[in-house]
Amino acid sequence: MPNKKSLHIESSGQLCIYCGACVGICPLNCIYLDETRITFDESVCTRCEICVKACPVGAIEIG
């Protein structure tokens, strides 16, 4: 089994400020922002980590 990394968006409001920066840059269009809820489609995400860099507050982690 390939070692599939998991992506975690801290979206409970502890870190995320619902700014949409990650949504706009995800090349696969798999992050969704709905007012104060952010979700992403795990089956589409390639773990490219672009959104991790785009987040101004560091709410996204891949490990």
Which residues here bind another protein, judged by CB under 8 A?
A: 17-25, 27, 29, 33-35, 50, 52-58, 61
24 contributes a contact to ligand SF4 by CB under 6 A? no
SS3 38: strand
- Rounded CA-CA distance 43/36 in Å is 22
**Of the residues 3, 13, 19, 35, which one makes contact with ligand SF4 according to CB under 6 A:** 19
Measure Cα distances from 50 to 1, 3 in Å: 24, 19
Q: Read off φ and ψ for residue 62, nearest 5 degrees.
A: -120, 125
Residues lying near ligand SF4 in the complex (CB under 6 A) are found at 7, 9, 16-22, 26, 28, 30-31, 33, 38, 40, 45-51, 54-55, 57, 59-60
